[in-house]
Structure formats: structure tokens, C-alpha cells
């Protein structure tokens, strides 16, 4: 590691986390803690055929040497593809043509494990130091159906068909599959499809559903930059959130048990109100004032009960999971819609449908409001300069709701916070101008009111400046900076 690179952490070990990282100095919010280069990057399981150089979707375009998917001569010669190309070409194992190039291609499941194995061969000392100690949860994985699929699609395929038996045994291949399943992270690729990458140091950061660090992936070389999201004291454990921050507790804990093989007991998971955010809370249908919460969120089988002492309503956690899955499937259907008037109208209809079922801050409703905050002002018929004041106020309300929730569950400088602050500036600015045009406020009051959107843009620009400049967030950060300067200039000319 280059000497000028920061390394503001120590590696410790205990029974709860295994290996984990702690800060070895006081860190300021936004301070770079470390950089990490991936051991390997490649397709996730269940991905459609992607170019093995840049990860854009491909159709009937293969490498002239090995016959596996690539999109161009440049990608055919890409360093990422070189080592596996040799393996497939030598074994004369070609990618089998598929009928539907948009459907998941299990043939690609072997690529990332193979890249990890080839990295082991290339740099055995890095493997021993950084990858061998990683957790693979072999015994737990053997109980699952994915084990048999990995055995056929990956272990048997690489060792038998690709003739790698003299270099790797099947036990090692399965161990690598486990290491990837437990330790790899999903990263955006230049091709727009998300892929997975294995980072040795990021992998040993402990999990919490209220993280104190954030990470940024640079898309040209997939290097990861890890920063403090909030001020961190020397000796504090560095926590990353392994799940989607806006998911309810029951969903986060099921995901962590299923994919990472542990049961989360962080303060957020232990609190039925999710630290007062009510991301898991429902309204009671039996009484007027009660809300329904898990009686013990850390017990997967504990019943859910109404908060009102006199109300005797209760339901099972199984019924709760089933209902959440049904509504989530409806929301997933909304996410498939093209961004247009229908995308807004159907989401508003869904909010209306469930407003008497869920707490207004429940994660399922909040995720719809989060999307609406981004759609209002951006789609046909709902351009920002066409929105009536009532809808501008609604956009601002949704932005503020998301931001106040993020303050609790992902405090500090997160990408989502930067993006929401950018969304909030527009309705605030248009509402102030609209009131000024209608003669409802004076020029002095207008100047005063425009300070908040300026502040939103400044904060958004500051947070998003740390993102990859080519990423959507990085581009938004640059726009926020320009918009802030223009708004300040127009204020000065008033």
C-alpha cells in the first residue's frame, strides 16, 4: 500500500464480529479512512449475459478467442477478461448460445469465482493475508439449495469441464463461492448493470443498521473509498450497513440471516419503533389510536400487538411477513414503470390505498414517497415549472420526511442525503418565487426565503463531490454547485 494513502483503522477480533475495524484516531465527518482495491470484480448470480470486460448487456457478441460474451475488440483485450479467456480457450469450453439474452444466464455464475481463484494463483501471499481468513459459512451453505447449484454450475464446471483439476479442487471452489456470497458487495458498473466485487478491508467492517461510515466506488478501476459519515472517536468500531437502509426490521434481519448468516441485534433492530422512525409500524384496524409493532423485534416468531392497553389485537410474525411481501411485490411492479405521468399517478394511488394500513413513515410508504420526491418536477406533465404550489409543497414534504428519517438511520453525509437535499431545493425556490410574483411576500422576504434552497444546494454539492464524477450522484453534485452559484448571483442582482 502506498505510504500517502490513509489507513486510519486497526483490525481487531472478537466472538461477535470475527475480524472488524476500529478507528485509530478521531475522524471528522467526510474524512477518508482508507482506500481498497478489489481482489476481483465480476457478474452477480442470476445476471443476463453481460460483456465480461465492461458489463454492458450483450446479444450474440462473443470473444473471437474463447467464445464468451464481450461487446467489442477493446473488451476482448481487457485485463479483466484476459486470464479467464486463456482458461476457456485452452479447454475449448464456449458460452452456449441462449434463446433469451435478457434472461438470467447461469453460465456466467462461474466467472467471478474463477477470477478470485486466478487472483489467488497470481498473488498467493495476498490470498493468504487477505482472502483466506474470510468467513465462508460452508456448513450453513451446505444446507441450502444454492449449494447444489454452485456444485454443478461452478465447482464441477470449472474443475471437470474447464480442466482446472490440477490447479484447484472442488472444495476450494465451493469455499470461494461462500467467501463471495458472504463478503462481496454489489457495485455499479460502467455498463449500468450492477456487478459484485470482493474488497478485503471493506469485507471486515462490522455491520450496523445505523452505520457511521459510507463508501464510494470509482467506476474506472472499482477502487472503493471509505469515509466517516459522522464524527468518529478513536477506538470506535467502524460500521457499514449491509442492507437497504429504508427496509423495515423484519426484512433487514431476514436478508442478513439469509445472505450473511448472522442475526442482527443492533439498537435499531432491537427497538420496535426503529429509534422513533416507525419504519416498521402499522395502524391498528381494531381501535382508533393504537399502532401495531413487534412485541420483540429480535425474536423472529414473536407476535405483533397493538400499543393500546385496552385493545387486544395481535397477529403473527408470519402473517406480517406475508403482508409485507404482497405490498412489496406491488411496489416492485411500480418500479418497472417508465418515468412518466402514469408512474406518478399509480404511486399516489398506492399511497392512498395503504394510508389507513401503515404508519405514514412506514418504510413501504416512505420508499414510494422517496421515489415521488424524485419524479415530481422531472416527468412529462409534471415539470418543475408546471407544478402547482400544492404539488410543490407535496414534493418538499416528501423530501423533508426522507431527510428526517435519514438523520436517524443513516446519520451524516450519505449519497441518499445529498440527492434528497438537491431535490428539496427546487420546490422551495419555486414556492418562494411564486409567492413573490403573487405579491404575498416582499423582496426582502424573498431573499430570506431563498437562503434555504441555497443551503440545500451547497450541502448537496459538498456531499456529492466525493462521488465518482461520472456517476449519477457525481453529476448531480456538479449541477448542484452550478445551480447554487447561479441562484446566489440572481439574488445579488435583486
> What's the pLDDT tens digit per position in 162-205?
999 999 999 999 999 999 999 999 998 877 788 999 999 999 99
CATH number at residue 233: 2.170.270.10
| pLDDT value for 101 | 86
pLDDT digits (tens, 9 = 90+) for 9-50: 999 998 888 899 999 999 999 999 999 999 999 999 989 999
pLDDT digits (tens, 9 = 90+) for 320-377: 999 999 999 999 999 999 999 999 999 999 999 999 999 999 999 999 999 999 999 9
Note whether 30 and 54 are same-domain residues.
no
**Looking at the domain assignment, is residue 365 inside a domain?**
no
| pLDDT value for 4 | 57
**Looking at the domain assignment, is residue 451 inside a domain?**
yes
What would the mean pLDDT of 275-283 be, rounded to a whole number?
A: 96
Asked if 486 and 428 touch (Cβ cutoff 8 Å), the reply is: no
Note whether 161 and 50 are same-domain residues.
yes
Domain finish residue from 213, 240, 267: 240
Distance, CA of 478 to CA of 434 (rounded, Å): 26
Distance, CA of 15 to CA of 23 (rounded, Å): 19
Distance, CA of 85 to CA of 66 (rounded, Å): 5
* pLDDT reading at 3 higher than 80: no
By residue range, what is the domain housing residue 280? 247-337+346-351
Note whether 63 and 177 are same-domain residues.
yes
**Could you give the percent of the chain with pLDDT greater than 70?**
99
Distance, CA of 8 to CA of 176 (rounded, Å): 29
Note whether 263 and 184 are same-domain residues.
no
Note whether 71 and 115 are same-domain residues.
yes
**Looking at the domain assignment, is residue 385 inside a domain?**
yes
Note whether 402 and 471 are same-domain residues.
yes
| Triad 461, 465, 469: Cα angle to 5° | 125
Note whether 33 and 156 are same-domain residues.
no
The 10 Å Cβ neighbour count of residue 467 is: 23
Note whether 236 and 291 are same-domain residues.
no
pLDDT digits (tens, 9 = 90+) for 85-98: 999 999 999 999 88
**Looking at the domain assignment, is residue 255 inside a domain?**
yes
pTM as predicted: 0.90
Domain finish residue from 351, 385, 414: 351
3-state SS, the chain, equals CCCCCCECEEEEEECCCEEEEEECCCECCCCEEEEECCCEEECCCCCCCECCCCCCECCCCECCCCCCECCCHHHHCCHHHHHHHHHHHHHCCCCCCCCCCCCCCHHHHHHHHHHHHHHHHHCHHHHHHHHCCCCCCHHHHHCCHHHHHHHHHHHHHHHHHCCCCCCCCHHHHHHHHHHHHHHCEEEECCCCCEEEEECCCHHHCEECCCCCEEEEECCCCCCEEEEECCCECCCCECEECCCCCCCCHHHHHHHHHHHHCCCCCCHHHHCCCCCCCCCCCEECCCCCCCEEEECCCCCCCCCEEECCCCCCCEECHHHHHHHHHHHHHHHHHHHHCCCCHHHHHHHHHHHHHHCCCECCCCHHHHHHHHHHHHHCEEECCEECCCCCHHHHHHHHHHHHHHHHHHHHHCCCCCHHHHHHHHHHHHHHHHHHHHHHHCCCCCHHHHHHHCHHHHHHHHHHHHHHCCCCCCCHHHHHHHHHHHHHHHHHHHHHCC
What would the mean pLDDT of 464-484 be, rounded to a whole number?
A: 94
* pLDDT reading at 440 higher than 90: yes
| pLDDT value for 492 | 87
What would the mean pLDDT of 421-427 be, rounded to a whole number?
A: 97
Distance, CA of 146 to CA of 106 (rounded, Å): 12
Q: How many domains does the chain have?
A: 4
Note whether 292 and 229 are same-domain residues.
no
pLDDT digits (tens, 9 = 90+) for 56-85: 999 889 999 999 999 999 999 998 899 899
Distance, CA of 55 to CA of 71 (rounded, Å): 9
Q: What's the chain's average pLDDT?
A: 93
**Could you give the percent of the chain with pLDDT greater than 90?**
85
**Looking at the domain assignment, is residue 360 inside a domain?**
no
Note whether 89 and 166 are same-domain residues.
yes
**Looking at the domain assignment, is residue 143 inside a domain?**
yes
**Looking at the domain assignment, is residue 2 inside a domain?**
no
Domain finish residue from 160, 194, 228: 194
- Locus of grid cell 459510507: 214
pLDDT digits (tens, 9 = 90+) for 291-325: 999 999 999 899 999 999 889 899 999 999 999 99
Note whether 64 and 186 are same-domain residues.
yes
Note whether 58 and 138 are same-domain residues.
yes
**Looking at the domain assignment, is residue 369 inside a domain?**
no
| pLDDT value for 312 | 87
Cβ-Cβ contacts under 8 Å for 100 (sequence gap 6 or more): none
Q: Which of 212-221, 453-462, 472-481 has the lowest mean pLDDT?
A: 212-221
The 10 Å Cβ neighbour count of residue 52 is: 27
Amino acid at each position: 500500500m502506498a505510504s500517502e494513502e490513509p489507513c486510519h483503522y486497526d483490525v481487531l477480533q472478537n466472538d461477535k464480529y470475527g475480524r472488524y475495524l476500529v478507528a485509530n484516531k478521531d475522524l471528522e465527518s467526510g474524512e477518508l479512512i482508507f482506500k481498497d482495491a478489489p481482489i476481483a470484480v465480476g457478474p452477480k448470480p442470476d445476471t443476463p449475459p453481460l460483456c465480461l470486460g465492461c458489463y454492458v448487456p450483450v446479444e450474440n457478441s462473443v470473444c473471437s478467442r474463447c467464445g464468451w460474451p464481450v461487446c467489442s475488440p477493446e473488451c476482448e483485450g481487457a485485463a479483466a477478461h484476459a486470464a479467464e479467456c486463456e482458461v476457456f480457450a485452452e479447454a475449448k469450453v464456449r458460452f452456449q448460445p441462449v434463446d433469451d439474452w435478457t434472461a438470467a444466464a447461469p453460465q456466467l455464475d462461474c466467472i467471478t469465482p474463477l477470477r478470485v481463484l486466478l487472483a489467488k494463483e497470481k498473488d498467493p501471499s495476498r490470498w493468504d493475508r487477505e482472502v483466506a481468513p474470510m468467513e465462508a459459512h460452508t456448513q450453513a451453505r451446505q444446507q441450502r439449495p444454492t449449494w447444489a447449484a454452485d456444485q454443478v454450475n461452478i465447482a464441477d464446471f470449472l474443475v471437470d469441464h474447464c480442466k482446472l483439476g490440477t490447479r484447484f479442487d472442488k472444495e476450494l471452489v465451493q469455499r470461494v463461492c461462500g467467501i463471495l456470497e458472504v463478503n462481496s458487495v454489489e457495485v455499479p458498473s460502467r455498463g449500468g448493470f450492477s456487478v459484485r466485487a470482493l474488497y478485503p478491508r471493506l469485507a471486515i467492517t462490522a455491520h450496523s443498521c445505523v452505520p457511521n461510515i459510507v463508501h464510494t466506488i470509482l467506476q474506472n478501476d472499482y477502487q472503493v473509498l471509505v469515509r466517516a459519515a459522522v464524527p468518529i472517536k478513536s477506538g470506535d468500531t467502524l460500521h457499514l450497513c449491509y442492507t437497504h437502509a429504508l427496509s423495515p426490521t423484519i426484512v433487514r434481519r431476514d436478508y442478513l440471516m439469509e445472505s450473511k448468516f448472522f442475526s442482527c441485534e443492533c439498537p435499531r433492530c432491537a427497538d420496535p419503533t426503529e429509534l422513533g422512525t416507525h419504519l416498521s409500524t402499522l395502524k391498528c384496524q381494531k381501535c382508533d389510536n393504537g399502532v401495531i409493532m413487534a412485541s420483540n423485534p429480535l425474536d423472529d416468531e414473536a407476535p405483533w400487538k397493538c400499543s393500546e392497553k385496552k385493545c387486544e389485537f395481535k397477529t403473527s410474525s408470519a402473517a406480517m411477513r406475508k403482508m409485507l411481501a404482497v405490498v412489496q411485490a406491488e411496489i416492485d411492479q411500480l418500479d418497472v414503470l417508465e418515468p412518466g405521468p402514469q408512474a406518478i399517478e399509480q404511486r399516489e394511488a398506492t399511497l392512498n390505498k395503504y394510508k389507513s394500513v401503515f404508519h405514514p413513515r412506514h418504510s413501504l410508504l416512505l420508499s414510494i414517497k422517496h421515489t415521488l420526491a424524485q419524479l415530481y418536477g422531472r416527468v412529462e406533465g409534471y415539470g418543475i415549472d408546471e407544478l402547482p404550489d400544492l404539488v410543490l409543497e407535496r414534493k418538499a414534504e416528501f423530501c423533508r420526511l426522507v431527510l428526517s428519517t435519514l438523520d436517524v438511520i443513516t446519520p451524516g453525509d450519505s449519497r441518499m442525503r445529498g440527492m434528497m437535499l438537491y431535490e428539496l431545493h427546487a420546490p422551495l425556490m419555486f414556492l418562494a418565487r411564486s409567492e413573490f410574483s403573487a405579491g404575498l411576500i416582499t423582496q426582502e422576504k424573498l431573499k430570506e426565503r431563498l437562503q434555504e434552497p441555497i443551503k440545500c444546494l451547497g450541502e448537496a454539492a459538498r456531499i456529492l463531490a466525493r462521488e465518482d464524477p461520472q456517476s449519477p450522484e457525481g453529476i448531480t453534485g456538479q449541477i448542484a454547485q452550478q445551480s447554487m452559484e447561479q441562484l446566489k448571483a440572481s439574488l445579488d442582482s435583486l
